[in-house]
Amino acid sequence: MKQILKQLIIIAITLIISYSAYSQKQNFELIKNTNIFNSILKELSLFYVDSIDAEKIITNGINSMLYSLDPYTTYIPKKEEDDLKFMTTGEYAGVGALISKRDSLIQITSIYEGNPAHKDGMKVGDRILEINGESMVGKSNDFVSDHLRGKANSLAIIKVKRPTVDSIVTLNVTRKKIYIPAVSYYGVTQNDIGYIYISSFNTNTASEVKEALLDLKKNHNIRSLVLDLRGNPGGLLNEAIGVINLFVPKGKTILETRGRLKELENTYKTSQKPIDAEIPIAVLINEESASASEIVAGAMQDLDRAVIVGNRSYGKGLVQSTRSLPYEGTLKITTAKYYIPSGRLIQAIDYSNRNEDGTTTRIPDSLTTEFKTAAGRIVRDGGGITPDVTYEYPKQSNILYYLTIDYHIFDFATRYVAEHPTIASATKFKLTDEEYNQFKEELKAKNFTYDRESLKLLNKLRELAKFEGYLEDAEETINSLEKLLEHNIDKDLENFKEEIKSELEMEIIERYYYKKGLMSRGVEEDKCIGKAIEILKNPTQYKQILSPKDR
């Protein structure tokens, strides 16, 4: 026993000495490279041929350093603290409008109902010329966004070019605190099926979902529920736990976080009595559902509490915390990985093992590991949440893509709104054939054309035939095929009429009824929601999906 004890003491001392040496080496490397960086910066400031912008060059260096670790570890200087606050609370001070650059001007693309832009007369389609006397012509999205934001109750005098009138319009818009709800819309479909769309996980998400759920149960007597997380980029981990707790009994393990430091390791369990632990649920996800969204979808799947419908999620299994820096800056740093109830990590990219050129790739399916849900169903790690039922979205037609990115649909809606003070309700509004024909005539007047993939491939074929010496023999055939593939705008606009009309209607509906109206119409027409409803209306199918398959 004495001999064994002596050996253990020797091993312990060796480990301590080794760790101490490693720690000293790490500290030396840190000090050495910090000194090198400071020396380079000093030499540049003294001897570089032109004067340097120290803040810009250092910020670029910091951002490059952090990005080499992962895309989520970022430096947030004091001037960008409003963005951090918005991400965590859904709140900022401004006018309440979305913008995008169009040619040399910034254009209003969407307005939040009930906020200053709405109340003080801004219109979707307005192009911003000046804010408080300063020209916005040729400025970037970020530049104009910074000028639209400001202290609550401050005045923004905004000059805009309104496409539907000849004169320049001056608007006096009083900035207010803008809050973007996490629950963008909720309602009832198919008589007794509730629907809740969660756009983000901020400080109020769980309470907003709870409020919506209680209203749907009390006033609409719902018997099942669709939780829509498509396009939700995530947010606060605790809010995700809170949403799950509405449907899962108290005391269930939802998540474990594991980091390099022991104090960053935590186990998260449901701590409250649920609102409804029995109601059938379908959770919708897609490739843009990430982070906290994946915690909700993954935990509900691992606990066999909901059927997951849609497409495989993004695959972000990393946890970020914030650390204060000098001069009121903030470091958002990845401190842990999270593991959902089955024990799986859904992180799709291992940033610590990059390719030789520095690029990253998703973990291939062949290298993922099987785990089991509470009921024994097989699930896998390493690549987001794979839905129980996959929904393949129809591919958007090429002509609709160009009608959208070239603003033809946007501009038609702008003119339509100027000519029609009111329209039918969001769920009943339809464009007439006469109005659709008017849209077609406008496109012809503009000589609208668009790239067709078939012609691109044909031109590529002509180039290859010329390179290989076959063009002379094949040219007549290629020319004949080209004539068959020539644009026929009338034919294309009729072939894709229903798809284009639907997009026009949705754009117009949002102008009158804002986000809620758009969502209420979308719920009725969305085929993925329809698939979820189909499953919820069939208890046998719902139960089969949540039961283990024989292998």
Token duo for residue 536: 């919820």
Nearest to 201 by CA among 237, 154, 162: 237
> What secondary structure letter does DSSP report for 277?
S
Token duo for residue 294: 């994946």
Is residue 192 within 8 Å of residue 222, measured between CB atoms?
A: yes
Calpha distance 362→251 (Å, rounded) = 34
Nearest to 171 by CA among 142, 124, 114, 130: 130
Q: What sign has the CA pseudo-torsion 293, 298, 300, 301?
A: positive
Is residue 350 within 8 Å of residue 327, measured between CB atoms?
A: no
Q: What sign has the CA pseudo-torsion 312, 315, 316, 318?
A: positive
Q: Which amino acid is at 380?
A: R
Q: Phi and psi of 37, rounded to 5°? A: -60, -45
Give the list of residues 6+ apart from residue 407 with CB closer than 8 angstroms, or none.
Answer: 102
Q: Which helix (H) or strand (E) holds 226?
A: strand 224-228
Calpha distance 450→308 (Å, rounded) = 38
Calpha distance 542→281 (Å, rounded) = 9
Calpha distance 281→279 (Å, rounded) = 6
Token duo for residue 58: 């250092």
Q: Which amino acid is at 478?
A: I
> What secondary structure letter does DSSP report for 125?
T
- β-strand partners of 371: 379
The 3-state secondary structure of 321-375 reads EEEECHHHCEEEEEEEEEECCCCCCCCCECCCCCCCCCCCCECCHHHCCEEECCC
Which residues are part of the catalytic machinery? 291, 302, 316
- β-strand partners of 319: 336
Give the list of residues 6+ apart from residue 435 with CB closer than 8 angstroms, or none.
Answer: 416
Calpha distance 254→296 (Å, rounded) = 9
- β-strand partners of 439: none
User: For the packed helices 497-525 and 408-419, what is the interaxial angle rounded to 10 degrees?
Assistant: 70
Strand, coil or helix: 111: strand
